[in-house]
Structure 1
Amino acid sequence: MGQSVSASSSSRPVPPAPPSVDAMPTALDYTEDLPDECLALVFQFLGAAADRKSCSLVCKRWLAVEGRSRLRLSLDARAALIEAAPAIFNRFDAVSQLALRCGRRSDSIDDEALALVAARSPNLASLKLRGCRSVTDAGMTAVARHCPGLRKLSVGSCSFGAKGVDAVLRGCPLLEELSIKRLRGLHDPSATAGLVDGAASLRAVCLKDLYNGQCFAPLIAGSPNLKTLKLIRCSGDWDPLLEDMAARVPGMVEIHLERLQVSDRGLIALSARVDLDFLRLVKTPECTDAGLAAIAEHCPRLRKLHIDGWKAGQIGDDGLAAVARRCAGLQELVLVGVDATIRSLELIASNCGSLERLALCGSDSFGDVEVACIASKCASLKKLCIKACPVSDEGMKALSAGCPKLVKVKVKKCSRVTPESAERLEASREGKLTVSLEAAEDESVMEQQQEEGIIVLEEIGMMENSTVAVDRGAGSSKGRCTARKRPTGGFFASRRNMVTSAIRKWSHGSSSSSTRGVHA
C-alpha cells in the first residue's frame, strides 16, 4: 500500500512556477499617442470638478494638460492668496475667466495681490470681484494695465470708487459688460469728476444698490452701442438719464428698472427713440398706464414684459390693452400685483398669438372667467403660473379643454383649487402636461418669509430671467406673490415626476459644477 501511494505522488503534475516580476508584461498607456489638444478636450467633458481634479493626478502629463486647458477659475480671495498665487497661476496659465470672492469676516486681498494675479493672467477676459474690501483704485488700475483684453467686469461689495472703474474703462477698450453692485467708494461726489463719458465697446450695464450712482450716467448715455441696461435699487432721479439716452443710444433693446425713482416722463422720452425687446418694471409706482402705452406705441417688437405693480393701481387694463393692440409678437408676460381684468386679458389672448409664457401673481381680479378666456384663445401658450389669485376648480376645468400646447401649469396659494381638480387637469393631457399645486400658507408663515426677503418670480420656475426681490417690511403679504415654499401637494409627487425631477436636478448640478473652477 505504501508503494502505491508513492507511485501516485510521483505521477502528480507539478504546477508551473510563477513568472518573475521582470517577466510580467508592461501595461499600455493608450493616451501616449493622443495629442495634448485631444486630451484637454476630454478634460473639458468631465462633468464634476472633483472628477477633473482627480483625473489630473494620474500622471505628470495629465496634470500639465489639465492645468493648461482650464479656462475658468474661482478663488478664495483672502489675504493669504498672495502667497499661493504664483504656484496657482504657474499651473493654470491660460485662465480667461476669474472669480475672486472673500467673506465678510475675512481680510481680502489688497492692491499688491490683485496686481500679481492680473500680471499672471494675460488672457483674462472676464473678472468678478466680490467682497474685496482692501482693493483700492490703484489695484483696479493694475488690472487695466495687465489685462487690456478684458471684456467683462463685475464688482460687488468692494471699497474702491468710480476712479477704479474709470481706469478699467480707459485701459480695456474691448470691455462689453459692466456690472457694479454695492460699490462703497461712491460717497464723495467730488471724487467722480472727470470720468470717461462713453465707451463704444459697452453692450450691457448693470447698476445695483448704489448711492450716487448717477456718476455713471454720462458713461451710460455716451455708449452708443449699449443694448441692455439694468438699474436696481439705486437712489436718485433717473428720468434725466433715460431722456439723455433717448437721443444717443438708439440700439437699446432691454431695460430693467427696479425700485427706482423713474416716471412716465423717462419712459415716454425713451420709447420715442428706441425699439425695446424686453421691458421689466418692478415696484416703480410713478410709472403708469400712460408710460406703458407709450412703450407699446413705439416698440411693436416687444417680446417680453414683466411688471410688478406693487398693488399701487398705477398700471392696469388701459396699459395692457395698449400692449395687446401694438405688440402682437409678445411671447412672455409676467404680471405681479396688477389687477388685470377680462377687458385687457381678452385683447392679449386674441391679438398676441405668439404668447408662450404667462404668469399672474397677486391679482384680485384674475379669476375663473379670465382663465377660461386664456384657455379658449391662447393657442400657443406653453407655461402658465397662477399665484395668490381667486381661481377655483372651474378655472382648472376650463384649462383642460384649451391651450393645446400647454406643457406646464403651476398653481400656488389659490385656496379654492383642490388637488383633485389638478389631478384631473394633468390626466386630461395623457402625460403631456405637468401640473404643480401648492397650498396656501397661513399668515404667520407668509409674514415671516416676507421679512426674510424672498425671491419671487425665479421661484415660479417657469420664466426666463424673472427674478424679483421682495424687500423687508413691504406691508401685508396677503394677496401678494411674495413667499417661497416647497411644494406640498401630493398628487404631483408621482413616480414619473419624481424621476424626471431627479434627472433634471442631477443634470443641472453637473453642468454648474463643471464650470465652477478651482477653490483655493
Structure 2
Amino acid sequence: MEASSIIDIPDDCLIFIFQALDCQADRESFGLTCRRWLHIQNITRLSLQFHCSFSLFNITPSQSNLSVESYHLSRLLTRFSHLQSLSLSGCTELPDSALAQLGSSGHRLQALHLDCCFGITDIGISLIGSSCPNLAVISLYRCLVTDEGLEALACSCPGLRDVNLAYCYLITDGGLRALLRGCRELRAVKISFCRHLSGIGFRDCSQTLAHVDAESCKLEPEGIMAIVSGGGLQYLNISGLSSGLRADGLCSIGEGFCKSLKILNLRMCRTIGDESILSIAKGCPLLKEWNLALCHEVKLPGWESIGRFCNSLEVLHVNRCRNLCDRGIQALRDGCRRLCILHINRAYRTSAIELFKLHRGRVQIREEEVMCVGPDWTCR
C-alpha cells in the first residue's frame, strides 16, 4: 500500500475535522500545523471583526488611534476569502477608497457593519453596492451617507433586509423612499435621531417590514401613517417624538394596519392623549409590551381603555406618568389579564398599588427610584 500524506486528504474532509473541534484553543491553533491546514482554517472563517471595531455593548474602539488603510483590508480579504459577515465599525479614518478592496470577495458578503466610519461617504456606499450585491444586512450608524448613497444602495442591493441608518443626519424622506421601493424584502429599518425625516418616505412600504426604530425623530402624523401602511409591523419605537404632535396624532397606529404589532415604545411622547391610547388599545390585539413612561397626557380614560382592550399585554411601562391615578391603577388591575410585569416609579406608593399586589400576586411590580428635577421625573 502506498503511503499517503496530508496532501491526499480532500478539503471537504479537513473542513469537517475543523468544524468538529469543540475547543476554541484547538480551532485557533489548527492552522499552525502546516500551510494546508492554515488554508482550511482561513476558508472556513465566515465572519471577521476588525481589531478596532466595537460591539453594541462597547461603543468605544479598542484602539482609537489605529488607522486602517486599504492594504490592511486587502490582505485580510485575500486571506479570508469566504467571509459572509464583516465588521469595520470603529474604523473612524477608513477612507472610501478602502472599500474598493471588497470587489474580489464582496459577492459572498451578507452582512457589513460600518458604524462610526466617519470617512465613508456616498462614494464608498456606491463601491459597496457594486461589490456586494448579495448584502442582506448593512449598518451605517453615524456615517455621512446622503439620499444619493441610499439610492445607489437600493439599486445594487435589492435583497437588503436589515438597514441601520441611526444618526445619519444627512438623509431625508426622499432617500428613505428610494431605499424602501428598491428593497422590497426589508424587515428592519433604524432611523433614530435622523432629524430631517418626517416618516412619509415609508409610504407604500412592503408588508415584510416588521421592525422600525425611529427614536427622537420629528415624525408627522402622515409619516406615522406611512410607517404602519405595510401592515406587517411587529415592533415600533417612536419614543421621544416632537412635543408638537397632537394628542390624537397616533390614532393611525390603531386604525387597522397594526394588527400584528407586539412591541410599542412611546416613551417620552408627552403630548399623546387618551384618544390615541384608545385607538391603539382597540386596534392592536396582539400587543405584548407597551412603554408609556413619561406620557403625561394619558389620563383615566386612557388607563381604562388599556385595562379593557389590551388582553394580550404582558409588559407595561407607566414610569413617571403624572396623570396615573389610583383609579387608573385599579383599571389596569381589573383588566390586562395576561400582564406579567408592571414598571412604575417607586415614588408612586398608594393603597392602589398594595391592592394591585394583593389581587394580582403573579404580576411583578418593578419599581424605579426617581427624583424630581424641574418639570420632569428622572431616574436617580
TM-score, normalised by the number of residues in structure 1: 0.58
Residue 305 of structure 1, aligned match among 227, 241, 264: 264
Deviation per CA, 1:275-315, whole angstroms, max 9, x where unpaired?
6433333222233342323321223513322212443xx21
Q: Aligned ranges for residues 189-338 of structure 1 at < 5 Å?
A: 208-220=167-179, 222-223=181-182, 225-236=185-196, 238=198, 240-241=200-201, 245-246=203-204, 249=206, 252-268=209-225, 274=231, 276-284=233-241, 285-299=243-257, 301=259, 302-311=261-270, 314-338=271-295
Query: What corresponds to 1:101 in structure 2?
Result: 89
Query: What corresponds to 2:62 in structure 1?
Result: none
Does structure 2 retain, via aligned residues, the 8 Å contact 1:150–1:175? yes
Q: Partners of 2:327 and 2:26 in 1: how far apart?
A: 55
State the shift of 1:395 in Å. 1.3
User: Higher Cα Rg: structure 1 or 2?
Assistant: 1
State the shift of 1:390 in Å. 1.9
Does structure 2 retain, via aligned residues, the 8 Å contact 1:361–1:389? no
Q: Partners of 2:200 and 2:125 in 1: how far apart?
A: 29
Deviation per CA, 1:427-449, whole angstroms, max 9, x where unpaired?
xxxxxxxxxxxxx45x6xxx7xx
Does structure 2 retain, via aligned residues, the 8 Å contact 1:79–1:110? no
Unaligned runs of 5+ in 2: 1-8, 53-65
Does structure 1 retain, via aligned residues, the 8 Å contact 2:142–2:168? no
Query: What corresponds to 1:347 in structure 2?
Result: 305
Secondary structure of the residue aligned to 1:361 is coil
Residue 79 of structure 2, aligned match among 81, 84, 91: 91
Secondary structure of the residue aligned to 2:50 is strand
Query: What corresponds to 2:56 in structure 1?
Result: none
Residue 320 of structure 2 corresponds to residue 362 of structure 1: yes
Residue 366 of structure 2, aligned match among 386, 410, 430: 410
Deviation per CA, 1:171-222, whole angstroms, max 9, x where unpaired?
33433333334xxxxxxxxxxxxxxxxxxxxxxxxxx341352340440463
Kindly indicate whether structure 1 or structure 2 has the higher relative contact order, using CA contacts under 8 Å at least 6 residues apart: 1
Q: Flag the 1:350–1:39 CA change in 2: closer, same or farther, 3 A.
A: farther
| Percent sequence identity over aligned pairs | 18
Residue 41 of structure 1, aligned match among 19, 24, 27: 19
Residue 49 of structure 2 corresponds to residue 74 of structure 1: yes
Deviation per CA, 1:211-260, whole angstroms, max 9, x where unpaired?
35234044046345555444322234626435xx14x6566544443323
Deviation per CA, 1:412-438, whole angstroms, max 9, x where unpaired?
12xxxxxxxxxxxxxxxxxxxxxxxxx
Q: Partners of 1:153 and 1:352 in 2: how far apart?
A: 35
Q: Partners of 1:131 and 1:294 in 2: how far apart?
A: 35
Secondary structure of the residue aligned to 1:149 is coil
Residue 143 of structure 1, aligned match among 128, 151, 160: 128
Q: Flag the 1:239–1:72 CA change in 2: closer, same or farther, 3 A.
A: closer
Does structure 2 retain, via aligned residues, the 8 Å contact 1:68–1:93? yes
Deviation per CA, 1:332-370, whole angstroms, max 9, x where unpaired?
111021143443323322322211111112112335554
TM-score, normalised by the number of residues in structure 2: 0.76
Does structure 1 retain, via aligned residues, the 8 Å contact 2:304–2:331? yes
Secondary structure of the residue aligned to 1:299 is coil
Query: What corresponds to 1:431 in structure 2?
Result: none
State the shift of 1:83 in Å. 3.9
Q: Partners of 2:70 and 2:228 in 1: how far apart?
A: 49
Does structure 2 retain, via aligned residues, the 8 Å contact 1:283–1:308? yes
Does structure 1 retain, via aligned residues, the 8 Å contact 2:139–2:165? yes
Does structure 2 retain, via aligned residues, the 8 Å contact 1:328–1:352? yes
Q: Partners of 2:346 and 2:359 in 1: how far apart?
A: 23
Q: Partners of 1:259 and 1:359 in 2: how far apart?
A: 18
State the shift of 1:164 in Å. 4.2
Q: Partners of 1:268 and 1:157 in 2: how far apart?
A: 26
Q: Partners of 2:232 and 2:250 in 1: how far apart?
A: 13
Q: Which segment is superposed worse, 326-335 or 382-391? A: 382-391
Secondary structure of the residue aligned to 2:20 is helix
Secondary structure of the residue aligned to 1:336 is coil
Does structure 1 retain, via aligned residues, the 8 Å contact 2:187–2:208? yes
Q: Flag the 1:401–1:126 CA change in 2: closer, same or farther, 3 A.
A: same
Q: Flag the 1:109–1:479 CA change in 2: closer, same or farther, 3 A.
A: closer
Q: Flag the 1:267–1:375 CA change in 2: closer, same or farther, 3 A.
A: same
Q: Flag the 1:403–1:231 CA change in 2: closer, same or farther, 3 A.
A: farther
Q: Flag the 1:87–1:292 CA change in 2: closer, same or farther, 3 A.
A: closer
Unaligned runs of 5+ in 1: 1-31, 182-207, 414-439, 448-475, 486-520
Query: What corresponds to 1:399 in structure 2?
Result: 357
Residue 380 of structure 1, aligned match among 335, 338, 349: 338
1:234 maps to a residue whose letter is: C
Q: Partners of 2:210 and 2:258 in 1: how far apart?
A: 12
State the shift of 1:273 in Å. 7.0
Residue 153 of structure 1, aligned match among 106, 130, 138: 138
Alignment size in residue pairs = 353
Q: Partners of 1:399 and 1:83 in 2: how far apart?
A: 63
